[in-house]
Amino acid sequence: MTAVNRHASRGLPPLLVPLLAGGLVVLALGVYGRVHTPTGFAVGVAGFSAALPMKAWLTTGAFVLAIVQVVSALSMWGRLGITIPPGVHRWSGRLAFLLTIPVAFHCLYALGLQYDVPRVLAHSLLGCFFYGVFTAKMLALPRRDAPGWTLPLLGGLAFTGLVGLWLTSSFWFFTVIGIKV
C-alpha cells in the first residue's frame, strides 16, 4: 500500500462520532436557545458593572488566548522555527474555553437565540457553531487514526468561530457602546 493510499484509508470513519457529537451540540444549543424563555437578567457579573461589559471583556480574553492557541499550534507543527512549550497550548485553550462559559451561559439563559437583528443572529449561530466545533475537536484529539488534517481544520474552524463571536459582540460593544468595565 502506498503512502497516499494509507492516508486515504484513514478518511472520515474515525471522525464520524466526533462530528456527529459536534453536530448534536450545535443543534441542542440552537434548539434550547430558541425554545427557552429568556429571563432577561444577568447572573454572576462579579467585578463588572453589567452583563454586556462582562461578556465583552471575557470574550476579548478568550480571543487573545485563541491567538496564543494559533501561535502555539503553529509552533507545535514546526511552522514557526521556534519552540513554544506544549503546556502553553493546553493551558491557553483551557483558559480560553473557561472564559467563554459564563458568556455562553448568560447568552443562552438571559437572551436565548435571537434572530431579529442580523448581527445578533450571526452571533447566536456562531456561538452554537463554536461549541459544536470545539466538541468535535476535543473528541477527535485522542483519535490516532484520524486524518492528519483533522486537528488543524477543527482548530482553525474553532478559531474562526471565536473571531466571529468576538467581532459580533466585543468589537461591536467597544465601538458602539464604548470601553467600560
Residue 15 lies in a domain: no
Residue 43 lies in a domain: no
Confidence at residue 10, expressed as pLDDT on a 0 to 100 scale = 63
Residue 40 lies in a domain: no
Q: How many whole angstroms separate alpha carbon 49 and alpha carbon 120?
A: 22
Higher-pLDDT residue of 137 and 48 is 137
Residue 19 lies in a domain: no
Residue by residue, DSSP assigns 24-57 as HHHHHHHHHHHHS----S----TTSSSHHHHHHH
Residue 61 lies in a domain: yes
**pLDDT (average), residues 118-136:** 95
Q: Give the residue from 135, 138, 133 showing the smallest Cα distance to 161.
A: 133
Higher-pLDDT residue of 178 and 137 is 137
> Angle CA(150)–CA(124)–CA(20) in degrees, nearest 5?
35
Residue 144 lies in a domain: yes
At 165, is the secondary structure helix, strand, or coil?
helix
Mean pLDDT of the residues in the chain: 90
Q: How many whole angstroms separate alpha carbon 32 and alpha carbon 18?
A: 21
Q: How many beta carbons lie within 10 A of that of residue 18, not counting itself?
A: 21
Tell me the residue range of the domain where 168 lies.
Answer: 50-177
Which residue is associated with the grid cell 480560553? 96
Residue 71 lies in a domain: yes
For the chain, what is the domain count? 1
Confidence at residue 9, expressed as pLDDT on a 0 to 100 scale = 46
How large a percentage of the chain has pLDDT more than 90?
A: 69
Residue 166 lies in a domain: yes
